[in-house]
Amino acid sequence: MADLSVEFCGVKFKNPIVLASGILGVTGDSMAQVVRNGAGGVTTKSLWPHEHLGHANPTIISTQNWMLNAVGIPDGGPEKAAEEIARYRKAVSAPLIANIVGGVMDDYEAIARAVVLMNPDIIEINISCPNVEDELGKPMACSISKSAEVTRRVRSIVGQIPLIVKLSPNVENIVSIAKSVMDAGADGVTAINTVGPGMAIDIDSAQPILANKSGGLSGPAIKPLAVKYVYDIYKNLKCPIVGTGGVLTGRDAIEMMMAGATLVGVGSAVWYRGQDVFGKIVAEMDEWCDANGVKKIQDLIGKVHA
Ligand SMILES: Cc1cc2nc3c(=O)[nH]c(=O)nc-3n(C[C@H](O)[C@H](O)[C@H](O)COP(=O)(O)O)c2cc1C
């Protein structure tokens, strides 16, 4: 059996598979179940500094190759989040990444202050959701200066807690955005959030299927994009990366690590392979390592660049 543990921004994970934000990361119990199902750690859904309503249903459509979602980041506010994170802590001991979001800079500062009190192992700043553009405008992750500023502001509040920034694939040059957040005080990045937004139309009613009309694209179809962005960021910056996007199998996860990811985010795969997908992926990674004489999975990080 290979050693599947990895260290990410100074935090030890028993394996590289982490729950991506927005999928099952809603309650303490659902996050604890993800760990019992084999994940090395979890990411909460995006947390706001105040209650936030999501979009009307239908919010998700999935096909064999892709998903579109316009959930719209609903949240019950910091008090509720603190309760759920405390429940998670009581149930399991795997690292928790608290994902935070806001509409304006002040929101990010407010939720950063609240989330520090919840003792997360890592804080992830979501500046890259493409399905709230009507409400919030273009994601901050599309601007070098805004990405850097939000990182600087949150860093000044969270002290030494490891800080990562979740990047958008919907930009001209993801490496320059990654560099700007690393220069502004981030310890690492997550690549990528959903792609688009995209649209699916029901031709029988001649209406967009999602109530929001468009939504962020995830699932198997986006994996080659995610792999390329992780590859480019690692090649240029060698920073810690959570590689996320379209990972369904152990082979997919190993591909993401070879591109440069230390942790691998898994989200849409829950729809494709069930809630125990985390353990399935970990078992497949272990099997692949055994078959290929890999003793430590850490040795695979960035291997394609060697
Ligand atoms: C239903 C759904 C809800 C999501 N909600 C969030 C969210 O609240 N915050 C966030 O940063 N990303 C969110 N995402 C993006 C995922 O965390 C991930 O970056 C993206 O889906 C690509 O990974 P995947 O193909 O494994 O799902 C969401 C994705 C889906 C499918």
Computed over every residue of the chain, the mean pLDDT equals 96
At 261-306, the pLDDT tens digits run 999 999 999 999 999 999 999 999 999 999 999 999 999 999 999 8
User: Is 99 in a helix, a strand, or coil?
Assistant: strand
User: Is 105 in a helix, a strand, or coil?
Assistant: helix
Ligand 1 contacts CB of residue 248 (under 6 A): no
Beta strands in 118-208 (DSSP E): 122-126, 163-166, 188-191, 195-199, 201-202, 207-208
DSSP bridge pairs for 202? 207
Query: Which pLDDT value is given to residue 70?
Result: 93
Q: Are 167 and 190 in contact (CB under 8 A)?
A: yes
Query: Which pLDDT value is given to residue 191?
Result: 98
Helices 223-237 and 250-259: crossing angle in degrees, nearest 10, is: 30
Dist. CA 135–CA 159, nearest whole Å: 30
Q: Are 113 and 136 in contact (CB under 8 A)?
A: no
At 214-247, the pLDDT tens digits run 999 999 999 999 999 999 999 999 999 999 999 9
Q: Does pLDDT of 141 surpass 90?
A: no
Dist. CA 227–CA 258, nearest whole Å: 9
Average pLDDT (39-65) is: 95
Q: Does pLDDT of 131 surpass 90?
A: no
At 167-217, the pLDDT tens digits run 999 999 999 999 999 999 999 999 999 999 999 999 999 999 999 999 999
Provide the token pair at 54.
């999501």
In terms of pLDDT, which residue wins out, 134 or 205? 205
Provide the token pair at 252.
């997919």
Query: Which pLDDT value is given to residue 136?
Result: 77
Ligand 1 contacts CB of residue 47 (under 6 A): no
Query: Which pLDDT value is given to residue 9?
Result: 98
DSSP bridge pairs for 126? 166
Query: Which pLDDT value is given to residue 34?
Result: 98
Q: Does pLDDT of 36 surpass 90?
A: yes
Residue minimizing CA distance to atom 3 of ligand 1: 22
End-to-end CA gap in the chain? 25
Query: Which pLDDT value is given to residue 132?
Result: 76
**CA 221 to centroid of ligand 1, rounded, Å:** 14
Catalytic annotation present for 142: no
Segment holding 67, helix H or strand E: strand 67-69
Task: Quote the radius of gyration of the chain (alpha carbons, Å).
Answer: 18
Query: Which pLDDT value is given to residue 75?
Result: 87
**CA 176 to centroid of ligand 1, rounded, Å:** 22
In 10 A of CB 29, how many CB atoms? 12
Query: Which pLDDT value is given to residue 282?
Result: 98
Q: Does pLDDT of 155 surpass 90?
A: yes
Average pLDDT (38-51) is: 96
Query: Which pLDDT value is given to residue 231?
Result: 98
Reported residue count of the chain is 306
Provide the token pair at 210.
């999602």
Q: Does pLDDT of 251 surpass 90?
A: yes
Is the backbone of residue 10 left (phi > 0), alpha (psi -120 to 50) or beta? Answer: left
At 66-112, the pLDDT tens digits run 999 999 898 889 999 999 999 999 999 999 999 999 988 999 999 99
Query: Which pLDDT value is given to residue 139?
Result: 86
Query: How far, rounded to the nearest angstrom, does the alpha carbon of residue 130 sit from its chain's CA centroid?
Result: 14
Dist. CA 51–CA 53, nearest whole Å: 7
Give the residue extent of every domain in the chain: 6-305
Ligand 1 contacts CB of residue 190 (under 6 A): no
| Atom nearest to 223 CA in ligand 1 | 25
Ligand 1 contacts CB of residue 25 (under 6 A): no
Dist. CA 70–CA 22, nearest whole Å: 11
DSSP bridge pairs for 17? 264
CATH class of 6-305: alpha beta
**CA 1 to centroid of ligand 1, rounded, Å:** 31
Residue minimizing CA distance to atom 4 of ligand 1: 22
| Atom nearest to 59 CA in ligand 1 | 1
26 band by pLDDT with thresholds 50, 70 and 90: confident
